[in-house]
Structure 1
Amino acid sequence: MKYKIVITIAASLLLLSSALQANQLKGHSSPYLALHGDDPIDWHPWGQQALDAARKSNKPLFISSGYFSCHWCHVMHRESFVNDEVAKLINSLFIPVKIDRELEPALDSYLINFVERTRGAGGWPLHVIMTPEGYPVTGFTYAPRKQLMTALTRIDARWQQESLQLKKLAREAYEQMYLAGEEQPAGDITVKSVETRFIHDAMSLANELQGGFGQQNQFPMAPQLTALLTVNTTRKDTHLAEFLELTLDQMVQQGLRDHLAGGFFRYTIDPAWKIPHYEKMLYTQAQMVRLYLLAAKRLERPDYIQIATETADFVLKSMRGRSGGYISSLSAVDQHDVEGGSYLWSADKLSTLLNEDEKKFAAQRWGLETAGSDEQLPTELLTIEAVASQLEIGEDEALRLQERVRQRLLGERRRNSPPEDNKQLTAWNGLMLSAFSELGLLTGERRYSNAAVSLARWLLRSWDGENLSRSMDGSTPVGSAALADYAYVAEGLKKAWKLSNINEFSEKSDKIAEVAWSRYFDSAGWHASDAMLIPAPGGAGALQGAPMPSPAAVLISLGGNDKSLQRAYSRQLTAIANEPFWYPGHLLAARQFTTEAKP
């Protein structure tokens, strides 16, 4: 009997050990992590267990970060992570960890910052090799299978020969990159001088022929455009106003916007805004609603209000979650794993859907005469007035024709709608709450006011009086929130209060902001998270604002504890003076401080 008990215990321990090593992602509430649940790789979710396993085995961590709507994440999954040879290599040499970047935004931001600093560019899927102590060694983005295996084999060979030296070098690199302190700018720093530098840097990056910033991929850069619109209300710079209007028009008229269903894609892969990267993110829609509302006022373009309302209507129709929040994204790949497949049209398909008059209209309005088997829904080439003139028909008839074509194409698209990432993220829903509230205040439309109040009440389910959750699985709170969650929800609730006069929203906003100040700001500065588990940079005087608003700047703008607020105001100008383009929210917070003479 004694021996049977010993054998049983030993067998149980072996089964437990096997279970700890096996892929732990199957059935995860994150669609991205669940996507990898059947991989032969022994994926761990991010957490103390993975770190303990690395330290016990003295194996480096192989951290892979991505998200469900990312095209190249799906490509690398298909090419490498379901491959047995790759899995055998990774399982034997590393402790593999899969991260949904939307559930671990502070960690992902740290990792991508490391890759950008060491490689010159970052993106997703993102991969970082980390020592068991939590210091990054090297990182890279998408890699084909053979290249991935070669790189991992070389990393392991060096690790086997000199792991102690690699650990030492990784720690020293971390200290040099993140603990050296902020670079101090020369000369006197004033809001006006930083504002001047901000405009100068923005216009040095401006693509003045096509709008936007830079000559490669085009992102909406809503925080930067918002700051430029605000700054120019006092500057009255005609040249800057023309650039802003060009950029805003290009984003509406070209390929960044879905001309059939509405909503904006995350970015375009060309400088002319023509070819989208097809994922649609909730945070993009929220920011574009607010940006076009502001632009309507600052540039005296009331037609921009229509863009804001159409974008909000798209969210109401296509991104509403089952429990009352809004889902994080619509995938770049379709149900058949084809990038943009939900938005592509073949010439044959168009011929079966449209008659000759409708095809002529589509050719003039959207350039669909060039559509081939691999063409995107092309960009808006002519206004409805110009199309009517070209086709020699009245504008009313052109509008009727446009709606008929839209409905036929949308009906076909519904047969191959893009998969959803149905996570309901607290932070991004906070941004959407601000958008609905501002739209409701401006337009008086009840559908936006009702959406704002309903969303505010839903968000309060993620608040237990002391803590926010990161996301909601149905109506169940999931994960620990970070600074961005607290800041965006506090701002959204305050705006919902201004819209509705429901005092609970203002009271909860103040309490959530108070908790955020106490957890994420101290004498050293701002901390994006209080639960990183590994050595990570903190104590920044400012946090960047791209692609979403700086959560630190949002909290400063909301106000707070007088002592902390004063310290934050006094540090932010110094922190952003050298590169203000990347800190637009802090510039606006500083302007607010000087104009309102806050303490």
Structure 2
Amino acid sequence: MATSSSSSEKKPVVQSELNRLSKEKSPYLLQHANNPVDWYPWGEEAFEKARKENKLIFLSVGYSTCHWCHVMAHESFENEDVAKIMNEYFVNIKVDRETQPDVDRMYMLFVQSTTGSGGWPMSVFLTPELYPVFGGTYFPPDDQYGRAGFTTLLKRMAELWKEQPDDLRKSGTNAIEQLREHTASRGESAKSVELNMKTAQILYHHFDKLFDDEQGGFDGKSEPKFPTPVQFHFLLRYYYYILADLERADERLAIMSINEIRNRGAVLGIDFKNCENEAQFLNKLKEVVTSRKQVAEKSLEMVKFTLKKIAKGGIHDHVGNGFHRYSTDKYWHVPHFEKMLYDQAQLLMSFVEAYTITKDQYFAEVARDIVTYVERDLRDPEGGFYSAEDADSYPHEGAKHKLEGAFCVWEMSEIKEILGDKNSEVFCWHYGVKPDGNVDPSKDIQGELKRKNVLIERHTLEETAGHFNITLDQLKETLSESLKELAKYRFEKRPKPHRDDKILSSWNGLMITGLARAYDSLHDKKFLDLAEGAAKFLKEKMYIHDKKVLLRSFREGPGEVEGFVDDYSYLIEGLLQLYQSSFNESYLAWAVDLQDRQNQLFYDEQSGGYYNVKEGTKDILLRLKDDHDGAEPSANSVSVSNLILLGNIVDNLDYNAKAERTLKYFAGRLNSIPYSMSAMVASLMLHIKSVKQIMVVGREQNPTVQQFIEAIRDQFIPNKTLLLARPENEFLLEKNEMAKVTVQSEFTKGTEDNVPSVHICENFTCGMPISNIEELVDKLKY
């Protein structure tokens, strides 16, 4: 993507009076409050003006930490000549995609269907009735490389509207109708499709085929590279379920004769028809078991390898902690430097789960690194978490222009001055620092990173220690102290990037999940405190208690927009995890309230699945059922898992029925394009394999009970629900009439005698009570 060389000839003009966006709370809209463009927020005032004056609407959608949104703003929206054309011929509307995802998703679907791609900034021309007629993403201000610039496009669209308004209206109406028919037909082919593990096998082979065995990731050796935790989420669960199936099969096979096994080959899904004797039979059995174990191990190895490549790469902020959005190259080296809360939350979960399986301390260290960043830079004093930090910042105090990555990159001379010759030599060798910079010029389109270095671990600790003939402990101390010195310099001397300080229910839900899971595995009480603080903030500040309605955002007070389906689903997931981490039953009660409200507002009782907006939402032409698991999991994917787990805990068969209907609605697409629905396939596996309910019976303060709980949390069991049955036998869920839901009261017998135990229940059958820690650990193995 290239910028115009001629745009600098036109002097940007800062409008002396603020436009309408100055009254908004969104940081993104406020960034455009003094543009010379006569911007409107999304709403009836703008629509009425367009209808009254018979003008096309120019809709610009982005977010406050988006680098290319800034580029287009500087080149076009701050330019008086461009603004003049926009104001004369169009009604111009700005939308923050993070606070109004309904608007963004509707028109992004149009842009993707007409251009084959999408992204931000998103630029769409609408009729006064809000039907889209043309769209794209970033446009340079002037024509270049045979591509029309934004100025040319504005003039052409104005001419078309003047000359062919009826044709444009017809085109827009047809586009929406086609999208409506397309989205409505997604569930039609699913009615006869069977839900089974073949879908997961297809998805595994897709990832195995596209795995980059040199740099990690699942897009082959292409670029850019995105850290996509939904892929890790699936692969780690596929790993677990394969080994669990083999373990169960071993138990069954141990008590069966060869003839019985031959007749019941379905135990492992093996066809023994061609086995003529016992030796062939046993060899076939051994081959299949070995092959499946190899698949399981490969699933885990691909995740481990990719996570380590990401953590060692430049996409990881080695000095300031946390992760940038994505890498522009295939080496995870040169990122777009914005940091998003949803990335931190999901990567935290990925690293924690990798640690839980492997007990490799490296993954635990990276998980702690993420929490350090989020707590320090994204946490509101009252407990909620902010949305993001910008890619661009001023390179020094008094600078007139922001540069991408200025807060994060280094010149070698700076590092030498800060660290001194001895430490800087070791540091620069380990992190690939070069005198002329280490950024490939092809990844520095705007020339902002000349002579700059993005830190990337070019060598292992062992290689660096050997190169300098020092011990590993000496090296670790040198690198640790060097990173602290650079961080001190950065935070004290450099202007910080803009922080988007709005608080979103959905992304906070993701963060609560990650933090609670981190507490379970890493046993750091601070992580649980941070998760509970966020939950408290959401309930006190962003929840209308009498209506049981969640709000989308908070900044200088709660926003006016009610929550969308992802706000509900992500928060419910967080509360389910938070209950299992704290055994505070109020989280479970709130999860039930939110699930019931989500079902009421968004569930399609006729066909199954959840719409992204409630029925009758004003000014939204399409109600969509999101199913794409990309940078974030789709709300439908998360909802299926929530319904299964919550239905199991509170014994609600309707929840389980809704989960199955949702899977069946999407079954056609699950079988045809599972690679775009990784989290949904993970939820499908949960549905097929069922929930393992683990009931710890006893008082939480009892040392044996604590031993039991820690042993359970130390195991990676993705299909578990962990419950604590206290002697009082019951917990309260605030449903319609404060109905009491009993926690398996027969299991609590004996708690008064101070004899703690554990029951493991699967497929409506509970095992005998376990009162020995060694026996429990053995039983938890798959």
What is the TM-score with the length of structure 1 in the denominator? 0.92
What does 1:536-551 correspond to in 2, within 5 Å? Answer: 536-538=621-623, 540=625, 543-551=627-635
Q: Displacement, 1:565?
A: 3.4
What's 1:557 paired with?
641
Match of 1:207 in 2: 212
May I ask how many residue pairs the two structures share in their alignment?
A: 578
| Structure 2 counterpart of 1:149 | 151
Superposition pairs of residues 405-484 of structure 1, within 5 angstroms: 405-414=482-491, 415-416=493-494, 417-461=496-540, 462-465=542-545, 466-484=548-566
Aligned 8 A contact 2:39 2:94 in 1: yes
CA contact (8 A) 1:345 1:371 kept: no
Match of 2:302 in 1: 243
Shift of 1:22: 8.1
Contact 1:470 1:479 in 2 (8 A): yes
Task: Specify which of 594, 616, 633 is matched with residue 512 of structure 1.
Answer: 594
Distance 2:587 2:191 in 1: 43
Aligned match of 1:7? none
The separation in 2 between residues aligned to 1:478 and 1:279, in whole angstroms, is 27
* 2:21 alignment partner AA: L
In the alignment, is the contact (CA less than 8 A) between 2:434 and 2:453 conserved in 1? Answer: no
Match of 2:421 in 1: 356
Match of 1:595 among 689, 711, 716: 689
Q: Which structure has the bigger radius of gyration?
A: 2
The answer (yes or no) to whether the contact 1:280–1:332 under 8 Å persists in 2 is yes
- Does residue 29 of structure 2 align to residue 33 of structure 1? yes
Compared CA separation, residues 210 and 505, structure 1 to 2 (3 A): same
| Matching residue of 2:113 | 117
Work out the CA distance in 1 between the residues paired with 2:133 and 2:51: 15
Aligned to 1:396: 473
Are 1:329 and 2:388 an aligned pair? yes
Q: In structure 2, what residue type is equivalent to 1:506?
A: L
Distance (whole Å) between structure 2 residues aligned to residue 186 and residue 263 of structure 1: 44
Counterpart residue number, 1:528? 612
Aligned partners of 2:356 and 2:521 also within 8 Å: no
Report how far residue 39 of structure 1 moved. 0.7
How far residue 444 of structure 1 moved from its aligned partner, in angstroms, is 1.8
Q: In the alignment, does 2:152 pair up with 1:67?
A: no
Instruction: Report the Cα distance in structure 2 between the residues aligned to 1:188 and 1:116, rounded to whole angstroms.
Output: 28
The answer to whether the 8 Å contact 2:393/2:407 transfers is: yes
Post-superposition shift, 1:289? 0.6
- CA shift, 1:492, in A, is 1.0
Distance 1:295 1:396 in 2: 25
> Quick check: 1:60–1:132 contact (8 Å CA) kept in 2?
yes
The answer as to whether partners of 1:323 and 1:474 remain within 8 angstroms in 2 is no
The runs of 5 or more residues in structure 2 that have no matched partner are 1-16, 143-148, 243-291, 395-400, 438-449, 648-653, 692-762, 765-782
Q: What per-residue deviation string (whole Å, max 9, x for no partner) do you get for residues 177-209 of structure 1?
A: 331312737985332221122123333433232
Identify if the C-alpha distance between structure 1 residues 385 and 69 changes in structure 2 by more than 3 Å, giving closer, same or farther: same
Decide which structure has greater helix share. 1
- 2:170 alignment partner in structure 1: 168
CA distance in structure 2 between the aligned counterparts of 1:187 and 1:374, rounded to whole angstroms: 60
Counterpart among 190, 193, 200 of residue 195 in structure 1: 200
Q: Note if 1:261 corresponds to 2:320.
A: yes
Aligned to 1:577: 671
CA offset digits 1:391-429 (Å, max 9, x no partner): 112222222211221122112211222221111111111
Distance verdict in 2 for CA 1:475–1:24, change over 3 Å: closer
Q: CA deviation at 1:300?
A: 5.4
> What is the CA deviation profile of residues 240-297 of structure 1, one whole-angstrom value per residue up to 9, with x for unaligned ones?
4433222111111111211112101110001121111101000000000101112223
Maintained 8 Å contact 2:564/2:613: yes
User: Which residue of the partner structure matches residue 179 of structure 1?
Assistant: 181
Cα offset for 1:455? 1.3
1:3: which partner in 2?
none
Partner of 2:371: 312
The 8 Å contact of residues 573 and 587 in structure 1, kept in 2 or not, is answered as no
How far has the Cα of 1:232 moved from its partner? 2.3
Indicate which of 24, 30, 38 corresponds to 1:42.
Answer: 38
SS at match of 1:432: helix
Shift of residue 311, structure 1, vs aligned partner: 0.9
Query: Aligned pair in 2 of structure 1 residues 376, 189: CA closer, same or farther (>3 Å)?
Result: farther
Alpha carbons of structure 1 residues 374 and 141: separation in structure 2 relative to 1, 3 Å:
farther
Contact 1:65 1:126 in 2 (8 A): yes
Asked whether the equivalents of residues 190 and 665 of structure 2 are also in contact (C-alpha less than 8 Å), the reply is: no
Residue 355 of structure 1 deviates from its aligned partner by: 1.1
Q: TM-score, normalised by structure 2?
A: 0.71
Contact 1:449 1:499 in 2 (8 A): yes
Structure 1 segments of 4+ aligned residues over 6 angstroms from their partners: none
Does the 8 A contact of 1:55 with 1:133 survive in 2? yes
- More divergent stretch after superposition (274-283 vs 551-560): 551-560
Picking from 204, 212, 230, the partner of 1:223 is 230
State the alpha-carbon separation in 2 of the partners of residues 584 and 159 from structure 1: 42
Structure 1 alignment gaps of length 5 or more: 1-20
The two structures, once aligned, show a CA RMSD in angstroms of 2.2
Match for residue 103 of structure 1 among 84, 99, 103: 99
The 10-residue stretch of structure 1 (52-61 or 358-367) with the greater mean CA deviation from structure 2 = 52-61
**Partners of 2:233 and 2:682 within 8 A in 1:** no
Q: Secondary structure at the match of 2:138?
A: coil
Q: 2 CA distance for matches of 1:572 and 1:591?
A: 14
| Aligned partner letter, 1:257 | H
Deviation at 1:218, TM superposition (A): 0.5
Partners of 1:120 and 1:434 lie apart in 2 by 34
